[in-house]
Chain A
Amino acid sequence: GDSVTQMEGPVTLSEEAFLTINCTYTATGYPSLFWYVQYPGEGLQLLLKATKADDKGSNKGFEATYRKETTSFHLEKGSVQVSDSAVYFCALSDQGSGSARQLTFGSGTQLTVLP
């Protein structure tokens, strides 16, 4: 079945540091890939997405590139801010899962950015 493996946290960085959160996946079809973010006390928000190989998703300074050859979708940001502190979830939606296209999530990575 489909699965997503994320880099284990927690991750603690100083402000303006470079961020990478690793994500790899297993899927039976040709999935769409997503990063969701959950700020403290809030619901999941879609951060960025990519729908096919070599697509790059980007938003709010975050980027991730869909790498089919390595089945990866690593999240990066060049300079993190304190306000980026949150839990980040990698997820996929696979057409092989049938009409539902439900999301399969990784376990999440807690990011704390210190001033």
Chain B
Amino acid sequence: DTGVSQNPRHKITKRGQNVTFRCDPISEHNRLYWYRQTLGQGPEFLTYFQNEAQLEKSRLLSDRFSAERPKGSFSTLEIQRTEQGDSAMYLCASSLARPVLSYEQYFGPGTRLTVT
């Protein structure tokens, strides 16, 4: 079990450019989450997948954001036409759909995005 991994760890981009982040969850986990964390705040939910299906999206996820999990394994989060307000840490988490485990989520190290 190698844990949740995210790439890249840091991304600096100019306003208006598109960026894509990747998340590899723990291998047997069928649930995958994306969160955004700004400085001094707790993470905020963006979207959730069960296997390859995207089942829920937060109102925070504007139409410039899109997420995929094509084969129910890794996931990508793309931001189009980045804005300075998109600067944040983007966190990925995974879990098993087992009530007995309280749907515990395990987090990756995050991708820090800076939009200049």
Contacts and interface: CB of A to CB of B under 8 A. Distances in A.
B25 interface: no
A36 B43 CA distance: 11
Interface residues of B, number: 25
Interface residues of A, number: 25
A43 interface: yes
A42 interface: yes
A44 B107 contact: yes
Contacts of B50: 99
Contacts of B93: 44, 103
A94 B95 CA distance: 15
B56 A43 contact: no
A57 to B, nearest CB: 10
Interface string A79-115: 0000000000101010000111111111110000000
